[in-house]
Amino acid sequence: MTDSMTETQATTVKVGLQDRGYDIVIGDGLLATTGARLNKLLPGVRTAIVTDENVAALHLETLRHGLSEAGIDSTVFAVAAGEASKSFETLQQTVDAILATRLERGDVVLALGGGVVGDLAGFAAGIVRRGMNFVQVPTSLLAQVDSSVGGKTGINVAQGKNLVGVFHQPKLVLADTKVLDTLPLREFRAGYAEMAKYGLIDQPDFFAWLEANWRAIFSGGPERIEAVARSCKAKADVVARDEREAGDRALLNLGHTFGHALEAATGYDGRRLVHGEGVSIGMAMAHRFSVRLNQCSMDDADRLESHLKAVGLPHRMADIPGELPMPEALLDYIMQDKKVTRGTLTFILTRGIGKSYIAKDVAASEVLTFLNESRSQ
């Protein structure tokens, strides 16, 4: 477990948020160096590690060994793996566990895990003593390129996902690309969808680079590190421009309006559809919908679908196993999505690969017609 003490390569991306700015460090074998890096950034701190049982079994020993070598005390609170841990109940347990350690405001809550652990631990860190220091050590590709960057935290409630939470920026994000080797292929692909999203939003060159290099990214090595770093940079730039999603940050929701509706429609059953797969289908649908609205060329929509197919990602509603609700019901899920502003339907549309934009007045009837067409494909 502790054989990766020496980094092969590390890249740093800076998130520019003035006094809340921080570094995202990306590279193979970073996990073991967490202690040393923490000591440098926040001398004398103690840490409360929040993780899940699966990740703990794989990576906790390496992390704690490094912390201990750096003289940093740590406690561990492990939640059950899976989305169900993003609940009020688990939040309260996590808060209690952090308070039980008697850590102070300046000490660190450290999230070791994927998006669920990061969102939960970040929320807890954001509310214990009205905000403790927070460090993200994301272990899934999705968390490394998306959820660990930008300060969004939260839990799910009966009314919907991520409806309760805070913006709480981490002090440091350490993305160890080596730990991605332990991910199941399906989960890696799901994270890859968010990576491709950054190309689709406003970086056509990055998308072309992904088309050429995706095999190397899947198999590990310098291309993977570069892909994670470019993704983090893309997200960091958007976050720096619009920390609290008053404007531009909404572009990051490309593919998410359809995607969230499909996740809801499948009852968040990860056997049928995981988040990144929903985003993959959602991005393809956003391009098709843009074609329908005469915004995007058919060629660009086809090009995206070809790439998603090549990497093994779903791109149509029909790719989801089992029955889906009728289009009217899907539209209802879309209307309930939290990105609805004052009753008008906001969508991320596109004028082609790398040319996404925010459309604020999309008619519900257009969406419904499109859903009806998509269903029969």
**Phi, psi (deg, nearest 5) at residue 140:** -110, 160
Sign of CA dihedral 55, 58, 59, 64: positive
Q: How far is the CB of 169 from a copy of itself (least distance, A)?
A: 13
Q: How far apart are CA 144 and CA 120, in angstroms?
A: 16
Three-class DSSP labels, 151-175: CECCEEECCEEEEECCECCCCEEEE
Alpha-carbon distance of 214 to 98, in angstroms, equals 40
- Catalytic residue check, 130: yes
Among the options 64, 86, 189, 256, which is catalytic? 256
Q: Cβ of residue 135: shortest distance to a copy of itself, in angstroms?
A: 18
> Toward a copy of itself, which CB reaches closer, 84 or 212?
84
Of 257 and 374, the one with the shorter C-beta distance to a copy of itself is 257
Known catalytic membership, residue 249: yes
Taking the complex as a whole, the smallest distance from the CB of residue 356 to a copy of itself amounts, in Å, to 22
- Catalytic residue at 194? yes
Catalytic residue among 130, 294, 323, 342: 130
Smaller CB separation from a copy of itself, 326 or 340 = 340
The rounded distance, in Å, linking the Cα atoms of 261 and 257 is: 6
Active site residue 338: no
Minimal distance in Å, beta carbon 107 to a copy of itself? 9
User: Of 159 and 365, which CB lies nearer to a copy of itself in the complex structure?
Assistant: 159
Is 256 known to be catalytic?
Answer: yes
Burial of 46 (0-12, 13-18, 19+ CB in 10 A): middle
Three-state helix/strand/coil letters over 266-301? CCCCCCCCCHHHHHHHHHHHHHHHHHHCCCCCHHHH
Give 41 or 164: the residue with its C-beta nearer to a copy of itself. 164
Q: How far is the CB of 153 from a copy of itself (least distance, A)?
A: 8
233 is catalytic: no
Write down the catalytic residue from 37, 59, 152, 171.
152
CA separation, residue 182 to residues 100, 187, 279 (Å): 32, 10, 22
Q: Catalog residues that contact a copy of itself under the rule CB under 8 A.
A: 44, 88, 92, 95-96, 99-100, 104-106, 123, 126-131, 152-154, 157-159, 163-167, 244, 338, 340-342
Q: How far is the CB of 181 from a copy of itself (least distance, A)?
A: 33
Nearer to a copy of itself, 249 or 307 (CB): 249
Check if 162 is active-site. no
Question: Could you tell me which residues come within 8 angstroms of residue 32 by beta carbon, excluding any fewer than 6 positions away?
Answer: 2, 4, 5, 62, 63, 65, 66
Task: Check if 235 is active-site.
Answer: yes
Residue with token string 């999203």: 197
Between CA 180 and CA 192 the distance in angstroms is: 12
Could you list the active site residues? 130, 152, 194, 235, 245, 249, 253, 256, 260, 275
